[in-house]
Structure 1
Amino acid sequence: MFSTSFPKSSRALGATLLVSGLLLSGAASAQIATPAASPKSTVTQRVGLTDVTITYSRPSVKGRLVFGDSTSKAIVPFAKRWRTGANQTTTIKFADDVVLEGKKIPAGEYGLYTIPGKTIWTVVLSKNTKQGADVDGFKAADEVARISAKSTKLANKVETFTINFSDLTPSTANVDMQWELTSAKFKITTDVDTKVMAQIDEKVVKGTAATANDYAAAAVYYYDNDKDLKQALSWIQKANEKDAKFWNVHTEAKIRMKMKDYKGATTAAEQSKKLAVEAKNADYAKMNDELIAQAKKAK
């Protein structure tokens, strides 16, 4: 009777060949990595106290006509819904509730679709972030808001589609979409005051362990935003009682100046200047000289 078993050396050789074959098969099936024609990009900006994140893919002009009417060979025709980039739908995420061009938008992530026009773009926020280029699958129920974005002509060509944030203020920013010779912007407004006032209430008004920095920050916010100046003065005085820094004493001088207490403003500015000179800070010394001159002139 013949044996059907193989010698140990043959079995070992077979196992080696099997493993080698599997490795070669895996290597053959692995894709070769090459640069994407429209690379993915993520840009995040803090607007006020709210983080806004936009994720999109960036196509390039490559000698083509980008925007145009339906009779042209434009790759983004006017009056047609666009995913606002290439590949997947562009998304925009708000960490908190915001206002876009006067319309309230709840915190969350949305598909950012646009309908370009010659002078005005329509920006569509949708709950659907996966629609891509399929314009037939959109549902009205998924739409969160439609806003308008003014389109302008750029002086210099932008080869690769770019979305950035511009014109920042303490509570607002514009989302600026640029490609070829076209720019379209829409404005984001965030609720800074509610958040800051809640912090002031917690740490300064109701808190029992407020630091000099807490008092100073509350006073500066009240001063900058034309709130109760008497309260601002009280807080900056407490800050200076705890730790008199030349910049905080200068804030007291500015608050008194705004309250038309010119004598008090002069006294505080002189003290701030003395501290600034001791700290070898020429900028604040000069700022105090200017404030003293203004106070004397206003008397």
Structure 2
Amino acid sequence: MKNTISLILCLSILFFLLSCNKSSMENNEKIENNKISLVENSNLRLPTKSQFASVSQVIGTSDIFISYFRPSVNNRTIWGDVVLWDSLWRAGAEGASTFRISNNARVGGKPIPKGDYSFFVIPRKNLPWTIIFNKNINLFGIHLYDENEDVLRFDADAINSPFVETMTFTFSKVNSYSTILKLSWAEKTIEIPIDFDKTTSWNNIKKFIENNEQPDSLLWRDYLSIGNYCVFTEDKDYALYSMGLIDKSLDIQETFENLKIKSDLYAVLSQYDSASKYAKDAHALGSTTGMPLHVANLLEENIRKYNSLNIDNSNLPRE
């Protein structure tokens, strides 16, 4: 009987101690959960193994922005080892790489709406690599990646290239409508063409003029700026449109600047006799109004060039 009572007493004490310990642990957990993390709520920056980077590029009136973490080779075999063949790769390290475009575009020859995307690659040993744009940008690496959220997939060739220790995104062949995005790491590079619609800028220009072309609203310099944009695009259709804008600029105030742009526009249209005439007019007016020396030299060079070409293209409208 005494043994039974002793056993019951011991078990009761043990149960009481366990209950107290559990209660203490729960209280400690509550206290811990209610505490504010000093690290998470401070300005302390902790380094990451791979360093964060971003690269951006303006294409005409469109913006491309890429953010990513940059892994290094560190004497490792990258392709087929660190990055497995035929497997989804985050195209970087740490969090997934992200890609932002401000206007609708064609990437890899396929249309993609403006917006923000995560960026993935499936490397293949002897076949083109698969490039993926996914609409979920809140991914850490490939965790929670869902193929159903892919917005765009296409194939691109991976070419052998000079060794790159730390993974890098760069832009090449940049103009006002397109560029080539390059991803380079170790001894491989993939090139991704990105193209924007040429009409995007001109639709914006035409809309701007329609909304603002009231009496005395636009200055001669406003028309000049648009005409100057057309000159470096070297597009004949837009040159014809801009010619009318430069005439409006000249109607407001004749300057060596807008005379020069009119000369340049005629050169875009291959009407070199008219281009020479307006270059001479610009030089003559500029000589009396404080034209900078480098502009005078450029006009003189253009006059000689246009006179030597002197091409009469009868298929294009003439003044």
Q: Under a length normalisation based on structure 2, what TM-score does the superposition of the two structures give?
A: 0.72
Counterparts of 1:1-299 in structure 2 under 5 Å? 35-68=47-80, 74-118=81-125, 120-134=128-142, 137-155=144-162, 157-203=163-209, 207-208=213-214, 209-220=217-228, 224-227=234-237, 231-257=241-267, 263-275=273-285, 279=291, 280-281=293-294, 282-295=297-310
Residue pair 1:270, 1:292 contacting (<8 A) in 2 also: no
What do the CA deviations read for 1:72-111 (whole angstroms, capped 9, x no partner)? xx20112110011001111111222221122221222111
In the alignment, structure 1 segments of 5+ residues that lack a partner are 1-24, 69-73
Query: Aligned pair in 2 of structure 1 residues 274, 39: CA closer, same or farther (>3 Å)?
Result: same
With over 3 angstroms needed to count, the CA separation of the structure-2 counterparts of 1:37 and 1:217, relative to structure 1, is same
**Conserved in 1, the CA contact under 8 Å of 2:70 and 2:166?**
yes
2: CA distance between counterparts of 1:245 and 1:252? 11
**Structure 2: distance between partners of 1:231 and 1:32:** 56
TM-score relative to the length of structure 1 = 0.77
Matched residues in 2 for 1:270 and 1:194: separation?
34
Identity of aligned residues (%): 22
Question: CA offset at residue 44 of structure 1?
Answer: 1.8
Task: Detail structure 1 runs of 4+ shifted over 6 Å in the superposition.
Answer: none
**CA distance, structure 2, for counterparts of residue 204 and residue 213 of structure 1:** 17
- Whether the aligned pair in 2 keeps the contact of 1:92 and 1:110 (CA below 8 Å) is yes
1:38-69 per-position Cα deviation (integer Å, ceiling 9, x unaligned):
0111212112211111111011000001112x
SS at match of 1:144: strand
The corresponding residue for 2:8 is none
Maintained 8 Å contact 2:161/2:189: yes
Q: Are 1:265 and 1:292, in contact at CA under 8 Å, matched by a contact in 2?
A: no
Q: Which amino acid aligns with 1:107?
A: K
For residue 52 of structure 2, what is the amino acid of its counterpart? K
**Are the structure 2 counterparts of residues 94 and 64 from structure 1 closer, same or farther at C-alpha, using a change threshold of 3 Å?**
same
1: CA distance, partners of 2:239 / 2:106: 29
Aligned to 1:4: none
Q: CA offset at residue 206 of structure 1?
A: 6.3
Residues 37 and 274 (structure 1 numbering): CA distance in 2 closer, same or farther, change over 3 Å?
same
Q: State how many pairs are aligned.
A: 266
- Cα distance, 1:33 vs. partner? 5.6
- 1:173-201 Cα shifts (integer Å, max 9, x gaps): 11110111111011111234233233234
> 1:123 Cα shift?
0.7
Q: Structure 2, unaligned stretches of length 5 or more? A: 1-36, 314-319
Larger Rg: 2
CA contact (8 A) 1:38 1:59 kept: yes
